[in-house]
Every structure is written in C-alpha cells, then in structure tokens.
Structure 1
C-alpha cells in the first residue's frame, strides 16, 4: 500500500529501518543489490504501517504484520510468491534486530507464519539431453548393461530411484511390446506402470546376458538390479550411476539445474504432459495420492508454452 505523502510516515519508523540497513551494510556486508531490495521491501512495510495509523514500533501487532504479508500477494501490483517471501523475511529480520538491540519491547513477527513458496522442481531434461544420458552406458559388459537398463527403466517408468532398486524379478511382466512393472511407492502403495519398448529391450538384454553373471557373485537375491558382488543395488549406488553418466553426457550435476536423483522422473512427467497426456493419467503413473501434487508439473509445461509462444508468434513481443 502507498500513502498520500511521506510526512505520514513517522520519523521513528524511518529511523528504525535506517538503523537496520546500516547494520546489514556494516556487519553483514550484503551486496548493493540485496540492500536495495531490502530497502524497497521495508519502505513498503513502513508505508503500510503509516496508512494503518501505526507510528511507533511498540504499537506494531502480529495482526499488522499479517495484514501486510497478505497484501503483498493481493495488492496492486501484487508481488510474486518469491518476492513476497523475501519481503516478509525482511520484515521479520527488522523486528528480530530491533528486539536484540533493545530498540523494541517485543518481536510481533514471531507470531506470523511466513508465506510459503510454491514447490519448485529440479529442471527437467529435454528429449535430446535424455537421449545423450541414456546413450552413455556402453552395454558391452555386465555392469554397463545393468547401467543402461537402470537409466532406461527410470525414464521409461517415472519410478523413484528407491522404487527402481526395490523391484524384484516377480514384479516384472515382460510379455508384450512394452511390458509392465509393479512399483512399490510411499506408504506401501503399489501401482502397475508400463515401461516402454526401450526400457523393456534394455531390461531383456540385462536379464538374459548380464544379471546371471552378477548373481553368481552373491546369494541369489530376488532384486532385479544387482551390484558387482551379486547383492541388491543400493539407492546411493544407483544415484552414483546416474551422476557419473550425466557427467559423461556433458550435463550439469551441481546447482539448481543439475541432474538429481529425481531428474529422470521429472523429465518423464514433463514430457508426458508436453505430449498431451491427461494429468490424471500422469498422477497414476507417478503414484501421487493427490492430483494437486502432480499439478506442479503443469507449471513447467505452461512455462514451455509461454516460451514457444514468445518465440514463434509474430506479435508476441
């Protein structure tokens, strides 16, 4: 909210903000751009307080702060979820600082729940990147054939890594062109998922030409994916296989855009929705209890639609 004039904002509020920003500048050495963002957020906050008739920090209540936080998303202009969360964080930081410095009698922001950020997914790979990743295992030896089957299985079924390493021979049905697998998800829930012809072929090759050799090194465990000693492949080892393959494929493995244990699962869901799959079908394939969980993926495809529109339509720019 904006106020009619700057005189309506009390000197006490302005001095409190200046003191806090001086602290951030000298003691925390924040970047200039970060400080500028904090200044904008806190100027907006004291304007809100002034319009609400609050002239002293001792009079600020949790209700005042909650009202300001709510207005961040509903005002004109409304802030994005991430910007609103940052602004709320600046307000909480101000009140904590003032209490610690003895400049305010209490911290009313402790009673206010911060705005939640929308769940963010690791970036999905595009189809070409997936192809590069899946082509990395050479498939010539027992472990190479296992690695190729594992990666094809993860992308072909959308399974979590923990689900993939948990499947047993009896969970597979390799009849037909695509085949089916019984996956055991969170909470012990099971679901049947088709695996695609590429995953089926890679599994066929692994089960016939590779797994028997690995079994002889162990005690005949029923797990589909085995380690070099014949035991069940662990989740950590499966993640290592994925990470090493990503490095060899020239894909990032660190940072927010790096390949993660769930990258192929996210890519599976995104590519299905991009291809026109119904969200309820994708929900079933992923094993989500609620479609609201699956709807996170629709945000990714909407971004894709915007990108395509912006680059393809003659009057989009």
Structure 2
C-alpha cells in the first residue's frame, strides 16, 4: 500500500521550527544563545592555545585541550543553524545533512562524557596513587584512552543514522526542535521504530550511564583518600585540585539528567525539552573555560601573559 496524502516517502528535506510554542519570541531568544555561543567559541579556542604550550604537556592539560576541542565542535555543529532559524527563518535542511548533524552532536556528546571520565581517572591516580601517576598515565596510555573514547562514540552513535536511513515512510517532515537529534527524527517515522528507540536508549546508557557510574565511583574513592589525610592543609590542597573537575562533571551530568527527564513532559510544555536540551549543549562549552580559568592557577597565569603586558614590555 502506498503512502497516504499525509505521509512522506523518502523525504529529501526536513523543516526545523526552532522552539515550539515560542516561535514569536525566537528572534530575541537568539541573542542570549548567541552570547553563549560566542563565549564558548572564544573560551575554548583560548584553552586549546594555552594547553598546547610545551610546559603544560601533562595529562590534565592534554585532556582539557581535547575537552575544549570537543566543546568547540559541539558549538559549530549546533550554533550556526540554530541562529539561522531564530534570526533568518532558515528552517529547511536536507535530510542527509540532518542525519550528519545528528551524528556529530551525539558523537561529540559521547566523546565529552568519555573525556570527563578520563579526567576523573587522572585525578584519582594523582590523589590516591601519586607516586605512580607518571608511570600509569604515559603518553601511550593517553593516546590509547583518547582513541577508545573517540572510537566508542563514533561506532555506537554512527549506527543511529544508519538505522534512520532504513526508514522510508514518515508522517511528517517538521521537526519540533532547533537542531536534529535522534528522538526528534525517530518521532517523525510512520514505521516500526522499536529498534531505533531501543538502540538509542542502549547508546545513552552505554556511554553516559556507564561514564556517570565510574565518575561517581572515582570521586567516592578520591574523597575517601582526601579525608584520610591527617593534615587539614593537605586535605584542602588535594581537594582544590579536583574543584574545577567536580563543577564541570556536575554541570554536564545534571543538565543531561534534566534534558532527558524533560522528555516525559514534552506534551505538557513542548518548549521545555527544547530549551533544556539546547542549554545542555551550549552551557557546558561556555562555562568550562570560565571554570578552569578561575580554578586553575597555570591557566590564569597564561591568560594574564596573553592579555596583560609585563611592566618591562610596556616601557
């Protein structure tokens, strides 16, 4: 039986409407999002530049540079098209381009989660087994960890658009979102999508769920080691090395939790999930450079060297 008048067979384009229910104020909503986008771009580029200095070639700064590159990729993947929708009404997107954006957004999310886990492991070794830190986190180990993180996200997320391509009949081509994401596209299908939904849930738990559990375990062990120190000053010093990481972990996973949780209320407040999921992608890239800049002495010093001339250079 062929498609009905309200069905679309192998659509070539989709329409992104932005934030459903708030279309009349999207133009103004675009300005704070543009602000976050700009802060994220400039901040993460600066972090990458600082972290590439030879004196900072340590595991923490290498992971930080990769995290900044991942955040930069997320901003580029979501920002330009979202602002074009808000400000220019450019809502059309080729279906294959939509799947490509979907892949990069979810793959970069998965990579960021994996990098945060790697950073938690780095802090665990640095505090719980400091004498073996350099022997465990060797350059080969760092490269291996980053390859595993990238391959895991690429392979698992790469299957999502492949499964979507096997769908041919859609009841709509209008995506109630400001960017292409997996479940938003799956909801358009007029075919059986149990495999798509099940595998999407599996990917979320295999990456975010797995990483969240092991980050939590790492910090339980870290706190045990910190509080077992006899001197108060040693406790404060050890804990201060984790402060920036803890803030970044919390902002990423708390926003992820609320973004996923808001799916359940999408029918009641259709714009709540869109706003939360967009903030989930833009807030961490914008805040991460600020958090690490404020909490990491070496980064603050490098920023000062870049933007503030020394007294002898002013003469």
TM > 0.5 fold call: no
TM-score (norm 1): 0.23
**Structure number with higher helix proportion:** 2
Higher relative contact order (CA 8 A, sep 6+): 2
TM-score (norm 2): 0.23
Structure possessing the higher radius of gyration over alpha carbons: 1
